[in-house]
């Protein structure tokens, strides 16, 4: 595995986290993150215009923090990496504009990175060998996909949600149960005191599929809340919701591992921070006799370190972007 072994300054502003990191090869020297959770919590979800304004305010001090934490001076940076797709276009533009300006002023290479490839390769931060081929489960607020990873830059989506992402089901469920934002962590905490078998909730698609569907689950939680009223046990409902989502994700992921004859499964994305999911998949992979890799919690939610890791191999291949690099709200995996 050939990587770019000089300091990369990476920037991430695709949604509601402002982040800057310094990466050298597979080594993450720093990963500064300015969260917007408190800002968007007032509305129960991300407001694009507010997110973009918050990125403008936070980006410079976050870059300074990333460089300072790494002990690297700006003039020692050898390349700039930035998330340029997909995401909220206003938010993306903040990071892309800054990255272009820094790369131009330093006269160093600029590389745009696909946000999901960043998640896919966040496991490069681990000391473990990354087996090829392997299956990857990307699960977040906006994405739920199973990807066949044949090599760096060689990906194929083999399973995906047909409607809502798993993270959206967590967020909507948390709102309905009055647990706040972000929903994934709120559900996880409430579920600790609950009975996961108390309420029966639908798992979506049936049959031998590796696709997902969570819209029916969201509706079922709404009906549960309406039906039970004051009798509803919130902890039991949270535990039942978490158990349903974890069960579906594990079942489909292991089915993909067998179908692809994969040597390992990687779990990435914001929902990969869910401890029940991490534990369930680790046990399932051990039983199946395949490897299991998932990044530390700090690299599950959106962050710039994963963008630097993805950029590292692309820069080593000689890939570069010019000052015409665009911010794209939608884009397929490269």
105 is in an annotated binding site: no
Interatomic CA distance for residues 56 and 47, integer angstroms: 15
Single out the residue of 105, 104, 95 nearest to residue 21, CA to CA.
95
**What is the end-to-end Cα distance of the chain in Å, rounded?**
18
184 is in an annotated binding site: yes
Establish how many alpha carbons lie within 13 A of residue 91's alpha carbon, considering only the half-sphere containing its beta carbon: 27
274 is in an annotated binding site: yes
233 is in an annotated binding site: no
Single out the residue of 162, 333, 160, 158 nearest to residue 256, CA to CA.
158
Place of tokens 């998330």: 83
171 is in an annotated binding site: yes
Tokens representing residue 177 in the block: 């149960």
268 is in an annotated binding site: no
Tokens representing residue 242 in the block: 């978490």
What SS3 state is found at 100?
A: helix
Place of tokens 């800002």: 39
80 is in an annotated binding site: no
Place of tokens 């800054």: 98
Tallying the residues shown for the chain, one arrives at 334
Strands 154-160 and 264-268 turn out to be: unpaired
Interatomic CA distance for residues 27 and 74, integer angstroms: 18
Place of tokens 């509601």: 16
Query: DSSP H helical segments within the chain, as ranges?
Result: 37-41, 48-70, 89-106, 115-120, 166-176, 183-191, 215-228, 234-260, 275-288, 304-316
List binding-site positions for substrate.
138-142, 171, 184, 274
List binding-site positions for Fe cation.
115, 119, 302
List binding-site positions.
115, 119, 138-142, 171, 184, 274, 302
């Amino acid at each position: 595995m050939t990587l770019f072994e000089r300091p990369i300054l990476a920037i991430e502003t695709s949604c509601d986290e402002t982040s800057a990191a310094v990466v050298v090869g597979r080594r993450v020297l720093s990963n500064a993150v300015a969260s917007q959770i408190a800002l968007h919590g007032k509305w129960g979800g991300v407001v694009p215009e507010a997110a973009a304004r918050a990125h403008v305010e936070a980006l410079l001090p976050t870059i300074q923090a990333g460089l300072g934490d790494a002990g690297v001076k700006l003039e020692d940076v050898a390349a700039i990496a930035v998330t340029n797709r997909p995401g909220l276009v206003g938010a993306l533009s903040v990071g892309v504009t800054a990255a272009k300006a820094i790369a131009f002023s330093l006269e160093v290479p600029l590389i745009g990175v696909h946000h999901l490839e960043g998640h896919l390769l966040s496991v490069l931060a681990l000391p473990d060998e990354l087996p090829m081929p392997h299956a990857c489960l990307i699960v977040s607020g906006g994405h739920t996909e199973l990807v066949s990873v044949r090599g760096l830059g060689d990906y194929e989506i083999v399973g995906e949600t047909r409607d809502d992402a798993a993270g959206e089901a967590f967020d909507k469920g948390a709102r309905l149960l009055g647990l706040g934002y972000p929903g994934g962590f709120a559900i996880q905490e409430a579920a600790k005191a609950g009975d996961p078998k108390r309420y029966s909730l639908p798992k979506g698609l049936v049959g031998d599929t590796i696709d997902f569907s969570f819209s029916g689950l969201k509706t079922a939680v709404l009906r549960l809340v309406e039906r039970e009223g004051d009798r509803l046990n919130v902890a039991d409902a949270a535990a039942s919701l978490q158990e349903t989502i974890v069960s579906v994700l594990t079942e489909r992921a292991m089915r993909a591992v067998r179908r692809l004859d994969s040597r390992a499964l990687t779990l990435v994305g914001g929902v990969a921070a869910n401890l029940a999911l991490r534990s369930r998949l680790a046990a399932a992979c051990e039983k199946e006799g395949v490897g299991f890799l998932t990044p530390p919690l700090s690299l599950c939610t959106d962050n710039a370190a994963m963008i630097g890791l993805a950029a590292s191999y692309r820069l080593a291949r000689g890939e570069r972007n010019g000052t015409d690099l665009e911010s794209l709200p939608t884009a397929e995996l490269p």
